[in-house]
Chains A and B, each alone.
Chain A
Amino acid sequence: MERQEIIDGLVEILKTVRTIDPQKLVGVTEQTDFITDLNTPSTEMINIVAKTEQKFGVEFDDDDIDDLGSKVKNVVDLIIKTKEKESE
């Protein structure tokens, strides 16, 4: 799965979070920060993570979620890493 494909999928998830301004979702890149750039309430992050697991068919380790950064890149990396681990 290409990284841009994952980003596009993440944006689709973010569109379902009503506390995020849809206008901020235009031009999301790997460097976009969920908290500082999108003003995502911290309590919504775990909801986004859970929806990400569902959309991409992966199950993150709790340790990985605890260590997860707040940038889009961090989530993309975790999806790829988890998929690789699950395919081993």
Chain B
Amino acid sequence: MPGRKVAVVGMGGAFPDCSDLTDFSTKLFSNKSLIREWDKAIAYGKNIRSSVSGFITEEEMGLDVIYSSLADNNYPETYIDKLNRIPDGNLATADIGCIWAMLGSLDAIKMAGWTNKEVQSEQTGVIMGSGGAGNAILRVAWHNFYELGKKTRLAGSHTVDRTMVYREAANVSCLIKNKGICEAIGSACATGLGNIGYAYRLIKFGLQDRIIAGGVEGTSLETFIGFDGMQVLSRGFSPQESSRPFDLNRNGFVCSFGCGIVALEEYEQAKARGANIIGVIDEYFNNSDGDGDMFYPSFSGQKRLWKGLLSSPALKPDVVKVHGTSTPAGDSIELLSVVDVLGEDGYHICAPKSQFGHMLGAAGSVEFITALLMLKEQKVLPCLNSVTLNPELEPFQKSEKWEGPIKPLEAYRQLIPQQSIAKEINHITCLNYGFGGTNSAISISRDN
């Protein structure tokens, strides 16, 4: 359906060490880090390399856990919402990430100003997913069966609904009772942006008018230890200094958790009802590296990503919100691909993971929200701890096959502010990548 544009009209979610979205915004633009020592990781001593995370506790979200009397090892039977936001029937089918998704969706819908009739129409969809499985639920359920020899029924009847791939979308849909599309996109650490991008296309192509979209990664030590075992997590720094994208001394990412949910609506419809339009999505593009490498980032893949994104009316961004994980390999390739496409000046780069770590399946959507906040505040978020950029060429830049910029990262220091700065921001590009060589990019603008 030509000409259909997509507006962002609501936001919500769950953010580490923050009481709500306003608190999240205030702390971000105050250059604060939301990363803390994690007692759950520390409890395992030397068996875990990293002990810092942007985690969220049940208490911080106003929740109590009821542990099952049937299964060992603290198996959550259900949760209590101490603030009475979600009915018990919906809590019974939800793991912690699903609860965050439901709370974020309610906040986004409230901000959007959608009526119950609009929410519950066939033209309203729910598109959201997470990077991991329901690991915290599965571990205990399997342990009770395999290791303790207990009957399957002792894990209760909510193992499947709390761990299935599209559990967040399903739980939100059952809560808000929409009648449109309900699906999840999974693309590892690009999941959050992938779901928003897919939702954008559904509206743009005329299949839906409204969509609640986003990504989630519920707090889970089980998820954390998977990455810890890969030796890819940051260690050796204070919590606040652990996530340091582009810095010469970076040694890994900070495994974090969170939830970012947005309400998307067909632009003219939103405009006609007088909605507060937080931002407008100009374009979404995604692709694959195509080099057969599961983990290593691809310069050519990222360049093709930019080419695809900018193939429609090109809007040079005032800010590039990068993936910027703080891993040695990822950051340098990404910075050089951005510079190769956009040049050496005229824009800024921000890496929100420097403030709250890598939220995995939620990263793309929470960082999308940070981009919307930048549009609103007209400020660039900082890249904390990017103290020293490599004054020498990266090893791959010395290869004969290298076709990118031939200056060291230090040459682009001016693009990466370490403190929040004010400037006119009309266009922002958001980038996220995931294992398997998947790449996603979205371009958003301030509503004129």
Contact = CB atoms under 8 A, between A and B. Distances in A.
A47 B71 CA distance: 11
A43 B157 CA distance: 6
Contacts, number: 35
A46 B156 contact: yes
Interface stretch (A1-9, A29-37, A48-56, A74-82): A48-56
A85 interface: no
A50 B156 contact: yes
A19 B89 CA distance: 5
A78 to B, nearest CB: 14
A50 B154 contact: yes
Contacts of A46: 153, 156-157
Interface string B81-93: 0000000110110
Contact of A54 (B70, B91, B156): B70
A63 B33 CA distance: 57
Interface string B137-163: 000000000000001011011100000
Contacts of B77: 47
B80 interface: yes
A44 B157 contact: yes
A18 B154 CA distance: 18
Interface in B66-111: 66, 69-70, 77-78, 80, 88-89, 91-92
A68 B80 CA distance: 30
Contact of B91 (A16, A18, A43, A44): A18
Interface in B17-55: none
B43 to A, nearest CB: 28
The DSSP consensus for interface residues of chain A is: helix
A18 B153 contact: no
A50 B152 CA distance: 10
Given A18-B91, A19-B92, A49-B153, A43 B158 contact: yes
A81 B123 CA distance: 54
Interface in B323-372: none
A41 interface: yes
29 contacts: A16-B66, A16-B69, A18-B66, A18-B78, A18-B80, A18-B88, A18-B91, A19-B88, A19-B89, A19-B92, A41-B89, A41-B92, A43-B92, A43-B157, A43-B158, A44-B92, A44-B157, A45-B157, A46-B153, A46-B157, A47-B156, A47-B157, A49-B153, A50-B70, A50-B151, A50-B153, A50-B154, A51-B70, A54-B69
10 nearest A-B pairs in the assembled complex, by CB-CB distance: A18-B88, A43-B157, A46-B157, A50-B153, A47-B156, A19-B89, A19-B88, A46-B153, A50-B70, A50-B154
Interface of A: 16, 18-19, 41, 43-47, 49-51, 54
Interface of B: 66, 69-70, 77-78, 80, 88-89, 91-92, 151, 153-154, 156-158
Given A16-B66, A45-B157, 7 more contacts: A18-B66, A19-B92, A41-B92, A43-B92, A44-B157, A46-B157, A50-B151
